[in-house]
């Protein structure tokens, strides 16, 4: 296994580095300390050909200018908080009247401290930052560390820890968009998605959960058995930007039959927001083509959006003296494994 650090660019006077982690199968995991962004994951297809399976850009300037959170670590709180209100606090309102993805100049747009970690069976990069009291309206100095490990079995493990000195909110996610065809050569419509999810959170027109958890059975949102995304999106033309409640083994599986690549996601979070990119039509390019509907799918493991206003959802309140710990594990395989 090999871990390399190289210059990637400059952002607001701070140097940005790219880390290239190569395992013994020569599969590669790339990330940068701007936004703790995962910039590339190169894994084999069923014939052994290694290609990138996440959406990203070639250079820092594009991440700074255009990114819809490609690969980014999102915080303090992923998703929307209605009206940006919590307790007596007013958080920044950066999505209509709501607070979204941590607000203005959030974790995905900061340069993190970073360092390579070497262990017996895995290599990784630990990113850390101190979000000061008052950041985007949140109370408390919050110290956050996210470590991305890469193993010899093509497993990316994400471990998050955080501590605060005042009661605050914390509900981060990683916002990687997957496309298992390799180098975005096909859309995600022929991928199948399967999730251990019996219910989903109903949302209003502004994408705030109403508080109702509805059964997926007999709806377009039933992914309990593997389902082609083309079929699911045919049944639900607006696509998916939807929080699902994970249950049982809490496993999510994405497969692309043509390449033979599969991704299995496991987590200790309560929910996953599935964002199918339906309707996206942007001016910037990804792998040489305009970013448009269904070039990727984001699978954002987290606690429910707007959990602060819904006691029935798992709490995202972090108290001083208690350490937040969460993980998500992404395993890439082909049928021969
Ligand atoms: C908002 C969220 C989506 C996604 C996108 C970039 O539309 O609702 O889940 O994070 O932003």
**241-255 average pLDDT score:** 98
Could you give the number of structural domains in the chain? Answer: 1
**297-319 average pLDDT score:** 98
| Predicted pLDDT of residue 48 | 97
Supply the range of the domain harboring residue 34.
2-333
Q: Which of 103, 111, 113, 112 has its CA nearest to residue 78?
A: 103
Task: Report the residue count for the chain.
Answer: 337
Which atom of ligand 1 approaches the CA of 305 most closely? 8
From the CB of 241, is ligand 1 less than 6 Å away? yes
The 3-state DSSP class for residue 309 equals: helix
CATH code at position 84 = 2.70.98.10
* 337 confidence band (pLDDT: 50, 70, 90): low
- Mean residue pLDDT of the chain comes to 98
Measure 114 CA to ligand 1 centroid, in angstroms: 26
Checking if the pLDDT of 7 tops 80, the result is yes
From the CB of 68, is ligand 1 less than 6 Å away? yes
Instruction: Please indicate whether residue 175 is annotated as part of the active site.
Output: yes
- For 92-160, the DSSP string reads ---BTTBEETTSTT-GGGSBPEEEEEE-SSEEEEEEEEEEPTTGGG--S-EEEEEEEEEETTSEEEEEE
* 174 confidence band (pLDDT: 50, 70, 90): very high
**226-237 average pLDDT score:** 98
**275-293 average pLDDT score:** 97
The 3-state DSSP class for residue 299 equals: strand
From the CB of 195, is ligand 1 less than 6 Å away? no
Name the active-site residue from 99, 101, 175, 310: 175
Checking if the pLDDT of 74 tops 70, the result is yes
Q: Which of 215, 254, 223, 275 has its CA nearest to residue 79?
A: 275
Measure 253 CA to ligand 1 centroid, in angstroms: 20
């Amino acid at each position: 296994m090999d871990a390399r650090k190289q210059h990637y660019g400059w952002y607001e006077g701070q140097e940005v580095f790219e880390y290239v982690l190569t395992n013994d199968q020569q599969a590669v995991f790339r990330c940068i300390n701007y936004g703790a962004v995962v910039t590339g994951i190169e894994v084999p297809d069923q014939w052994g050909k290694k290609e990138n399976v996440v959406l990203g850009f070639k250079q820092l300037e594009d991440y700074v200018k255009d990114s819809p959170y490609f690969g980014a670590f999102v915080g303090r709180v992923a998703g929307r908080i209605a009206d940006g209100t919590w307790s007596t606090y007013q958080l920044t309102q950066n999505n209509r009247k709501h607070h979204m993805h941590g607000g203005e100049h959030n974790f995905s747009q900061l340069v993190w401290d970073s360092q390579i970690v070497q262990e017996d069976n895995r290599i990784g990069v630990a990113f850390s930052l101190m979000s000061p009291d008052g950041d985007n309206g949140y109370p408390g100095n919050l110290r956050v560390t996210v470590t991305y490990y890469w193993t010899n079995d093509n497993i990316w493990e994400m471990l998050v820890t955080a501590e605060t000195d005042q009661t605050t909110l914390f509900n981060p996610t990683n916002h990687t968009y997957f496309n298992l065809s390799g180098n975005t050569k096909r859309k995600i419509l022929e991928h199948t998605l399967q999730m251990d999810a019996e219910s989903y959170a109903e949302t209003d027109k502004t994408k705030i959960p109403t508080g109702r958890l509805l059964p997926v059975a007999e709806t377009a949102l039933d992914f309990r058995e593997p389902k082609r995304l083309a079929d699911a999106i045919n049944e639900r033309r607006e696509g998916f930007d939807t929080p699902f409640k994970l249950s049982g083994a809490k496993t999510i599986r994405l497969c692309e039959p043509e390449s033979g690549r599969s991704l299995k996601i496991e987590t200790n979070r309560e929910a996953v927001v599935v964002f199918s990119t339906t309707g996206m039509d942007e001016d910037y390019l990804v792998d040489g083509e305009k970013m448009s509907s269904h070039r990727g799918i984001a699978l954002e493991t987290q606690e429910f959006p707007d959990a602060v206003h819904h006691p029935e959802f798992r709490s995202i309140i972090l108290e001083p003296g208690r350490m937040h710990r969460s993980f998500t594990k992404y395993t890439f395989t082909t049928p021969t494994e």
